[in-house]
Structure 1
Amino acid sequence: MNEQRTQAYLNLINQLLSCNDGDEPRILQENRELLDEGLVQVMVAVAQQYENAGRENEARWLMNMAQQLAQALGLLGEETTATANTPRDYLNFLMKTLLKISENRNPQVIYPFWEQNLDKLDDNLAQILDSWTREKLRQIIREQAYSIAVYIGNFSNLICQFPLGDITTHKEIAITGYEIALTIFTFEAFPQEWALTQFSLAIAYRNRIRGEKADNLERAITAYQEALKVYTFDAFPQAWARTQTNLGTAYSDRIRGDKAENLEQAISCYTKALKVSTFEAFPQDWATTQYNLAAAYSNRIRREKADNLEKAITAYQEALKVRTFDAFPEDWAMTQRNLGEAYRNRIRGDKACNLERAIAYCQEALKVYTFDAFRQDWAMTQNNLAVAYRDRIRGDKACNLERAIAYCQEALKVYTFDAFPQQWAMTQNNLSIAYSKRIRGEKADNLEIAIAYCQEALKVYTFDAFRQQWAMTQNNLAIAYRYRIRGEKADNLEIAIKSYHNALQIYTKDSDPLNCLQTAQNLGILHYDQKQWQQATEVYNIAIEAVENARLEALNPQDRQEVLSNAIGVFHRIVQAHLNLNQPEKALEYIERSKGRNLVELITQKNLHPQGVSQEIIAQLNELKQRVVNEQIRLQHQSINQKLMQSDNLTPYVQDHSYLKEYQQDLDNFIAREIKDPLFSLTQKVEPIPFTEIQELTDAETCLLQWYITGEKIIAFVVSADGEIKVWQSSEDDKNQFLDTFNNYRRLYYSENGKQEWKNQLSNLLQTFADILHINDILALIPDTCQRLIIIPHVYLHILPIHAFPINKNQILQDKYDVQYAPSCQILQKISQTFHHSDFNKLFAIQNPTKDLFYTDLEVNILSTFFTEPQVIAQDNATKNAVLPHLKSSDNHCYHFSCHGSFNPVNPLESALFLANKEPLTLDEIFELRLNKCRLITLSACETGMIDINSISDEYIGLPSGFLFAGSPSVVSSLWTVNDLSTSFLMIKLYEILFNENQQVSVPVALKTAQNWLENLTIEELDKFLEQYQPQIDKHLALLQPEQRPLYKESLKLIKQRQPHPFISPYYWAGFIATGV
Structure 2
Amino acid sequence: MNFLEKLLQKNKEQIATVIVEFSRQMLYFPLGSKAKKLEITIAGYQVAQRLYAHKPLSKEWAYIQNLLGYTYSFRMKGERAENFELAIEAFKLALQVRTRENYPKEWAETQINLGITYCHRIRGNKANNLRKAIKCFKLALKVCTPKSEHWAKIQNELGNAYLKIEKKGKVDSLLKEAAINAFTSALNVFSNEEDSYEWATTQKNLGNAYRQRKEGNKDENLEKAIKAFESTLKIFDKNSNEYGRIKNNLGIIYLEKRNGDKKENLKCAIQAFKSALKIYVYDYFPQELAITLASIGKAYLSAEEYTKAYEAFADTINIVDFLRLEIIFGSGIEFDKQNLAEKWNPHYQGILEACLNLAKKQPDYFAHAIEYAERSKARNLVELLNKKNLYPIENCYSSNKKLYQIHCRKLNILRIEILNKQWQKQSKQRLRKFLQESNEPIKAIKKTIECINKELEKLMQKRDNLIQKINKIDPNFKFTQKLNEISFSEIKALVGQHTAIIEWYITNNQIITFIITHNEEWKIKKEPPFWASSSEDLDNLIKWCKEYFEAYYAPRLKEYKDDNQENNNKKAELKKQWEDGLTIRFQQLAEILHINDILSHIPKTCDRLILVPHRFLHLLPLHALPLSEKQDQCLLDKFKGGVGYAPSCQLLQISQGLQRTEFRELFAIQNPKNANLKSLDYAKLEVDAICKLFSDSEVLKQENASEVALKESDKLLSSHCCHFACHGKFDLKSPVESALLLAEYEPEHKSSAKDQQLEEDGRLTLREIFELTLDQCRLVTLSACETGMVDPDSISDEYIGLPSGFMFAGSPSVVASLWRVDDISTAFLMSKFYENLTEHRQKPFQPEEGAVAIALNQAQCWLRDVTNTELMQRIENLPLSHTNKVNLIKIFNQYEKNNEKPFYKPYYWAAFCAIGK
Q: Same-fold call, TM > 0.5?
A: yes
Match of 1:587 among 358, 364, 369: 369
Deviation at 1:236, TM superposition (A): 6.2
Match of 2:740 in 1: 913
Partner in structure 1 of residue 667 of structure 2: 844
The structure 1 residue matched to 2:190, chosen from 415, 418, 437, is 415
Q: Within the alignment, does 1:816 sit opposite 2:612 as a pair? A: no
Aligned partner letter, 2:671: N
- Which segments of 5 or more consecutive residues in structure 2 lack a partner in the other structure? 360-364, 396-400, 523-527, 556-570, 745-760
1:1066 to 862, 885, 906: 906
1:30-69 alignment to 2 at 5 Å?
Answer: none
Instruction: Tell me, in whole angstroms, the C-alpha distance in 1 between the residues paired with 2:583 and 2:291.
Output: 45
Deviations 1:706-746 (A, max 9, x none): 01111111111111124555101111111111211111111
Q: CA deviation at 1:687?
A: 2.5
8 A Cα contact 1:893 1:935, kept in partner: yes
1 CA distance for matches of 2:275 and 2:119? 27
Q: Which residue of 2 aligns with 1:966?
A: 809
CA contact (8 A) 1:509 1:549 kept: no
Is structure 2 residue 370 aligned with structure 1 residue 597?
no
Superposed CA deviations along residues 923-968 of structure 1, whole A, max 9, x for unmatched, are 1100111101110001111111111111111111000000000000
Secondary structure, counterpart of 2:529 in structure 1: strand
Amino acid at match of 2:196: P
Q: 2:487 aligns with which of 678, 690, 696?
A: 690
Secondary structure, in 3 states, of the residue corresponding to 2:816? strand
Q: How far is 1:370 from its partner?
A: 0.5
- Alignment partner, residue 828 of structure 1: 652
Instruction: Report deviation, 1:848.
Output: 0.7
Aligned to 2:355: 578
1:495 to 260, 264, 268: 268
**How many angstroms apart in 2 are the aligned matches of 1:513 and 1:336?**
29
Q: Which runs of 4 or more aligned residues in structure 1 lie more than 6 Å from their structure 2 counterparts after TM superposition? A: 230-236, 649-654, 1055-1058
Q: How far apart are the structure 1 equivalents of 2:242 and 2:706?
A: 61
Shift of 1:1076: 0.5
Which residue does 2:65 correspond to in 1?
290
| Alpha-carbon distance in 1 for matches of 2:714, 2:805 | 13
Instruction: Name whichever of 992-1001 and 362-371 sits farther off.
Output: 992-1001
Q: Structure 1 residue 1026: deviation in Å?
A: 2.5
Report the counterpart of residue 701 of structure 1 in structure 2: 498
Match of 2:796 in 1: 953
Tell me which residue corresponds to 2:531: 728
Contact 2:866–2:903 (CA<8 Å) still a contact in 1? yes
- Residue type of the partner of 2:61? W
For residue 915 of structure 2, what is the aligned residue in structure 1? 1075
Q: Deviation at 1:543?
A: 2.2
Q: Does structure 1 retain, via aligned residues, the 8 Å contact 2:892–2:902?
A: no
Structure 1 residue aligned with 2:431: 641
Preserved CA contact (<8 Å) 2:726 2:742: yes
Q: How does 1:887-1036 map to 2 (within 5 A)?
A: 890-917=717-744, 919-996=762-839, 997-998=842-843, 1000=846, 1002-1029=851-878, 1032-1033=879-880, 1036=881
RMSD: 3.1
Q: Show CA shifts across 1:651-705 (max 9, x none).
A: 8887554443443444454455457566653322112211111111111111111
- Cα distance per residue 1:498-533 (max 9 Å; x no partner): 322232344455543333333223222222222222
Q: CA deviation at 1:1063?
A: 1.4
What is the CA–CA distance in structure 2 between the aligned matches of 1:377 and 1:1026, rounded to whole Å? 85
Q: Which ranges in structure 1 are unaligned for 5 or more consecutive residues? A: 1-189, 193-229
SS in 1 for 2:692: helix
| Aligned-partner residue type, residue 236 of structure 2 | Y
Partners of 2:215 and 2:430 in 1: CA distance: 41
Within the candidate set 390, 409, 412, 1:622 is matched to 412
d(CA) in 2 for partners of 1:645 and 1:398?
26
- Tell me the equivalent position of 1:739: 542
8 A Cα contact 1:589 1:690, kept in partner = yes
The answer (yes or no) to whether the contact 1:845–1:897 under 8 Å persists in 2 is: yes
One-letter code of the match for 1:837? R
| 2:21 alignment counterpart | 246
For residues 892-941 of structure 1, the C-alpha deviation after alignment (integer angstroms, 9 at most, x for no partner) is 11111011111111111111111113711111100111101110001111
Structure with more relative contact order (C-alpha pairs < 8 Å, separation 6 or more): 2
Of 510, 515, 523, 1:713 maps to 510
Q: How does 1:8-47 map to 2 (within 5 A)?
A: none
The alpha-carbon distance between structure 1 residues 487 and 261, as it changes in their structure 2 partners (threshold 3 A), is farther
Of residues 696, 704, 707, the one that matches 1:869 is 696
* TM-score computed with the length of structure 2 as normaliser: 0.85
Q: Give the whole-Å Cα distance in 1 for the aligned partners of 2:789 and 2:576.
A: 19
Distance 1:357 1:281 in 2: 27
Query: What's 1:565 paired with?
Result: 342
CA distance in 2, matches of 1:886, 1:252: 57
Q: In 1, distance between residues paired with 2:598 and 2:577?
A: 30
Matched residue SS, 1:600:
helix
Structure 1 residues 470-485: aligned runs within 5 Å: 470-483=243-256
Matched with 1:6 is none
Distance 1:677 1:352, change over 3 A: closer
Distance between the aligned counterparts of 1:301 and 1:619, measured in 2? 32
Can you list the C-alpha shifts for 1:358-414, whole angstroms capped at 9, x where unaligned? 333323222221047xx3312212322333344455666556555544444443454
Q: Is the 8 A contact 2:624 2:636 kept in 1?
A: yes
Q: Secondary structure at the match of 1:933?
A: coil
Cα drift, residue 255 of structure 1: 5.2
Larger-Rg structure: 1
| Whole-Å separation in 2 of the counterparts to 1:232 and 1:838 | 70
CA contact 1:279–1:287 (8 Å) conserved in 2: no
What is the CA-CA distance between 1:839 and the residue it aligns to? 0.8
The alpha-carbon distance between structure 1 residues 262 and 451, as it changes in their structure 2 partners (threshold 3 A), is farther
Q: Distance in 2 between matches of 1:973 and 1:647?
A: 37
Secondary structure (helix, strand or coil) at the match of 1:890 reads helix
Alignment correspondent of 2:84: 309
1:491, 1:451 → 2: CA distance? 15
Q: Do 1:260 and 1:512's aligned partners in 2 also have CA atoms closer than 8 Å?
A: no
Q: For residues 318 and 770 of structure 1, what CA distance do their matches in structure 2 show?
A: 58
8 Å contact from structure 1 (residues 700, 786) kept in 2: yes
In the alignment, the residues of structure 2 paired with residue 567 and residue 468 of structure 1 have an alpha-carbon distance, to the nearest angstrom, of: 21
**Structure 1 length as normaliser, TM-score?**
0.73
- 1:494 deviation in Å? 2.8
Deviates more, 1:240-249 or 1:813-822: 240-249
What is aligned with 1:663?
459
Q: Tell me, in whole angstroms, the C-alpha distance in 2 between the residues paired with 1:1021 and 1:730.
A: 43
Indicate conservation of the 8 Å contact 1:717/1:726, yes or no: yes
CA contact (8 A) 1:848 1:856 kept: yes
Taking the aligned partners of 2:180 and 2:801, their CA distance within structure 1 comes to 49
Distance 1:1020 1:355 in 2: 67
CA contact (8 A) 1:887 1:929 kept: no
**Contact 1:389 1:404 (8 Å CA) reproduced:** yes
State whether structure 2 residue 161 is matched by structure 1 residue 388.
yes
Supply the AA of the counterpart residue of 1:533: Y
For residue 559 of structure 1, report the CA deviation from its aligned partner: 1.3
Would you say the 8 A contact 1:386–1:404 is kept in 2?
Answer: yes
Pairwise CA distance, 1:340: 2.6
2:913 match: secondary structure: strand
CA–CA separation in structure 2 for the residues paired with 1:744 and 1:399: 34
- Indicate the larger mover: 242-251 or 691-700: 242-251
Q: Structure 2 vs 1, CA of residues 511 and 643 (structure 1 numbering), >3 Å: closer, same or farther?
A: farther
Q: Which moved more, 1:328-337 or 1:339-348?
A: 339-348
Q: Number of aligned residue pairs: give it.
A: 837
2:299 aligned with 1:526:
yes
CA distance in 2, matches of 1:457, 1:279: 48
CA distance in 1, matches of 2:425, 2:163: 35
Alignment-mate amino acid for residue 930 of structure 1: T
TM-superposed CA distance for 1:455, in Å, is 3.6
